């Protein structure tokens, strides 16, 4: 008769089977909760349903007053205070360097690229912009009049008053 060679589940076998089944139930309950859980972080892109069409918001206008803006934290890359529409930024061409490279800043009046942009991985200063820092828009963004996507309550630590004073 089939199954005669297989004894009933031992105590250890029953424990393992129970653990597997309870683990499966926990995973199932977690998946159900995840689908019905309240959203804590507001959506910042698109519609709630990805298949619905939505009106495309207008592109934010660049602020072109060429005024430098205070940074929010010490290592923040500065924002670009002018339009960069149609700037070429390829392996062979970087229009930003036409004004910001060290030898062109006197004629253009643009701030010179930081010395950190001339350092290789080992901290050695080289003659030209290091390939790691060549694509400016990887760190620097154009300043625009865009409204924040999420509420921001950031306060500069130097501007926050100590309650004990």
Band of pLDDT at residue 117, cut at 50, 70 and 90: very high
Alpha-carbon distance values, 29 to 2, 22, 34, 40 (Å): 37, 10, 9, 19
Residue 88: CB partners within 8 Å, gap ≥ 6? 94, 95
The DSSP string of 43-112 is P-SS-SSTTS--PPPPPPPBP-S-PPPPPSSTTPPPPB-S--TT--BSSS-BTTHHHHSGGGHHHH-PPP
Question: Could you read off the pLDDT of 37-82 as tens digits, one per residue?
Answer: 666 666 666 566 667 777 777 888 888 887 888 888 888 899 998 8
Answer yes or no: are the C-beta atoms of 146 and 60 closer than 8 Å: yes
- Considering the segment(s) 62-147 as one domain, its CATH architecture is Orthogonal Bundle (1.10)
Average pLDDT of the chain is 78
| Tens of pLDDT, residues 81-115 | 888 888 888 988 999 999 999 899 999 999 999 88
Q: Which residues pair with 142 in a beta bridge?
A: 80
Tokens 């008769």 — which residue?
Answer: 1
Structure tokens belonging to residue 105: 């800043």
């Amino acid at each position: 008769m089939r199954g005669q060679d297989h004894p009933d589940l031992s105590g250890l076998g029953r424990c393992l089977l129970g653990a597997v089944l309870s683990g499966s139930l926990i995973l199932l309950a977690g998946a159900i909760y995840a689908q019905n859980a309240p959203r804590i972080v507001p959506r910042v892109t698109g519609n709630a349903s990805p298949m619905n069409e939505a009106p495309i918001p207008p592109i934010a206008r660049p602020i072109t007053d060429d005024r430098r803006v205070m940074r929010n934290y010490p290592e923040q890359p500065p924002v670009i205070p002018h339009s960069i529409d149609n700037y070429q930024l390829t392996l062979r061409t970087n229009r930003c360097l036409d004004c910001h490279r060290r030898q062109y800043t006197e004629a253009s009046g643009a701030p010179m690229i930081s010395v950190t942009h001339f350092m290789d991985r080992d901290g050695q200063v080289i003659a030209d912009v290091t390939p790691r820092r060549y694509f400016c828009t990887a760190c620097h963004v154009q300043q625009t009049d865009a409204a924040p996507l999420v509420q921001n309550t950031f306060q500069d630590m130097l501007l926050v008053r100590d309650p004990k004073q």
